């Protein structure tokens, strides 16, 4: 059986780039597909409330609904935006080869880094906490919107810089004049990876999409997301995790921060690739045992 696979995508420039990349990869395996940009959830008319179907992610909600309504066959997501528990009936079909996992600072000159005072913009709790951990005297202001919007806001304001995922900028071909790789910053779990999801019962799509899976990327992001899942328990906290495979060993660096960046609890572990089962979970339990339990409880009371 062969059919045209309908690829659901959000309509931002980044999302469209990602969906086209999947379309091109499918083309190379001899499979035809079409892009279906999905704008908003609109008039839902679903039998069940979203939460009962396990739909929680703000970035992924729209596509989840389109999948469940049968309007698209697969959906392409930035994997770091996907909640660790997928909605009922939706499964991971493939993880594409990961691009850069780095965070970068787009700035207007780096003198402020030596001066001790500065203002940085980011909407991410993880980036804010890590920035303040390193630069306790700086101010961090909120910044939201898609990549283009955030870049424009940085230009329009007198902030010293804003933090972006390198992968996001590369994908929409934005080359900022001034930027700095933040090699010390621990990225979001699965940053730089794309996830393709399919309906559990759609064997044809699942088998076809599985051809695009990149095993090493999949192993790493699964460890990072397992670490996240065990730590957060359904709440968004300043958590970073990065797994890398070098010579058949997986290296994992993971950390939990307090919201103000004063506290950092971290792990640095390695294990043979053949023994990755529960590796992310064990790292998370280690964090919880080192004061992470109390810190998560504290974060949850503030964010509630
Ligand atoms: N949360 C927004 C988001 N989701 C995915 C990316 C970029 C691609 C990636 O990190 O995988 C971005 C932009 C950013 O964090 O600056």
Centre of ligand 1 to C-alpha 45, Å, is 30
> HSE (CB half, 13 Å, CA atoms) of 77?
28
Protein residue with its CA nearest to atom 14 in ligand 1: 165
Please indicate, yes or no, if residue 9 is contained in any of the structural domains: yes
Residue 221 belongs to a domain? no
Pocket test for ligand 1, best of 63, 99, 168, 225 (most atoms within 8 A of CB): 168
User: What confidence score (pLDDT) does residue 145 get?
Assistant: 86
Q: Tell if the pTM clears 0.90, that is, is over it.
A: yes
Ligand 1 pocket test: which of 78, 151, 195 has the largest number of ligand atoms within 8 Å of its C-beta? 78
pLDDT (tens digit, 0 to 9) for every residue of the chain, 304 residues total? 579 999 999 988 999 999 999 999 999 999 999 999 997 654 455 566 666 777 677 778 889 999 999 999 999 999 999 999 999 999 999 999 999 999 999 999 999 999 889 999 999 999 999 999 999 999 999 998 888 899 999 999 999 999 999 999 999 999 999 999 999 999 999 999 999 999 999 999 999 999 999 999 999 999 999 999 999 876 789 999 999 999 999 999 999 999 999 999 999 999 999 999 999 999 999 999 999 999 999 999 988 7
pLDDT at 207: 97
Query: Domain limits at 23?
Result: 5-96+193-213
- What pLDDT score was predicted for residue 50? 66
CATH classification at residue 169: 3.40.190.10
Rounded CA-CA distance 137/143 in Å is 19
247: in domain: yes
Q: Which pLDDT belongs to residue 142?
A: 94
Please check whether residues 110 and 58 belong to one and the same domain.
Answer: no
Asked, for residue 188, whether it belongs to a domain, the answer is: no
The answer to whether residue 218 is domain-embedded is no
Q: Which residues are tagged catalytic?
A: 81
CA of 2 to the centre of ligand 1 (A): 33
258 CB within 6 A, ligand 1: no
139 & 199 share domain: no
Q: How many domains does the chain have?
A: 3
Residue 219 falls inside a structural domain: no
């Amino acid at each position: 059986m062969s059919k045209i696979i309908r690829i659901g995508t959000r309509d931002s420039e980044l999302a469209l780039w990602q969906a086209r990349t999947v379309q091109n990869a499918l083309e190379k395996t001899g499979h035809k597909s079409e892009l279906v940009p999905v704008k908003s959830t609109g008039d839902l008319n679903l039998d069940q409330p979203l939460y009962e179907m396990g739909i929680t992610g703000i970035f992924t909600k729209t596509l989840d609904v389109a999948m469940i309504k049968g309007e698209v066959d697969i959906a392409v997501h930035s994997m770091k935006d996907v909640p660790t528990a997928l909605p009922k009936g939706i499964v991971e079909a493939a993880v594409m080869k990961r691009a850069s996992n780095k965070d970068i600072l787009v700035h207007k000159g780096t003198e402020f880094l030596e001066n001790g005072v500065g203002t940085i913009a980011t909407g991410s709790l993880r980036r804010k906490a890590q920035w303040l951990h390193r630069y306790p005297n700086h101010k961090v202001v909120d910044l939201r919107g898609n990549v283009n919007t955030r870049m424009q806001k940085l230009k329009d304001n007198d902030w010293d810089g804003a933090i972006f995922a390198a992968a996001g900028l590369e994908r929409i071909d934005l080359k900022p004049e001034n930027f700095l790789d933040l090699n010390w910053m621990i990225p979001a779990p699965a940053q730089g990876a794309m996830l393709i999801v399919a309906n559990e019962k759609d064997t044809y799509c699942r088998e076809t999409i599985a051809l695009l899976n990149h095993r090493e990327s999949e192993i790493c992001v699964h460890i990072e997301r397992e670490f996240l899942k065990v730590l957060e328990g359904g709440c968004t906290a300043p958590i970073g995790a990065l797994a890398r495979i070098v010579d058949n060993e997986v290296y994992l660096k993971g950390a939990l921060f307090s919201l103000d960046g004063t506290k950092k609890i971290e792990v640095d572990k390695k294990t043979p690739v053949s023994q990755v089962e529960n590796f992310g979970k064990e790292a998370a339990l280690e964090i919880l045992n080192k004061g992470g339990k109390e810190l998560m409880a504290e974060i949850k009371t503030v964010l509630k």
